[in-house]
Amino acid sequence: MAETVWTRAHVRVSGRVQGVGFRYATRTEANRAHAAGWVRNLPAGEVEAVFEGPREAVEALVRWCHQGPPGSWVRSVRVDWTEPVEHLAGFSVRASDWTLGD
């Protein structure tokens, strides 16, 4: 039996991704994929997310981010792949962080 490989993706999505339900749709997709993590808006108009879980689930979420929910328009998706470090449980929509600079 093959061992499940866990991974983590730190994602930043730009385009028309705020005010269109992107964060809540991301949570729905993450729950459907049984992945953990969080998503939030950034002051530069981007959405930031962290996905942890089985590699196939996380890869599917990253692919979904390239499309986004209806009403969104994705310009770019930046992904940093790492080993899971926080061992996150569940998926949350975090409050927008307007204090972060780019």
Residue 22 lies in a domain: yes
Residue 51 lies in a domain: yes
Q: How far apart are the C-alpha atoms of 7 and 5, rounded to whole Å?
A: 7
Positions marked active-site: 23, 41
Handedness of CA 22, 69, 11, 47 (dihedral sign): negative
pLDDT the model gives residue 98: 65
CATH number at residue 72: 3.30.70.100
**Residue 79: which domain range?**
7-86
pLDDT the model gives residue 99: 59
The tens-digit pLDDT sequence of the chain (102 residues) is: 567 789 999 999 999 999 999 999 999 999 999 999 999 999 999 999 999 999 999 999 999 999 999 999 999 999 999 988 877 889 999 988 665 544
Report the number of distinct structural domains present in the chain.
1
How many whole angstroms from its chain centre is CA 94?
11
Q: What are phi and psi of 32, to 5 degrees?
A: -65, -35
0.85 cut: is pTM over it?
yes
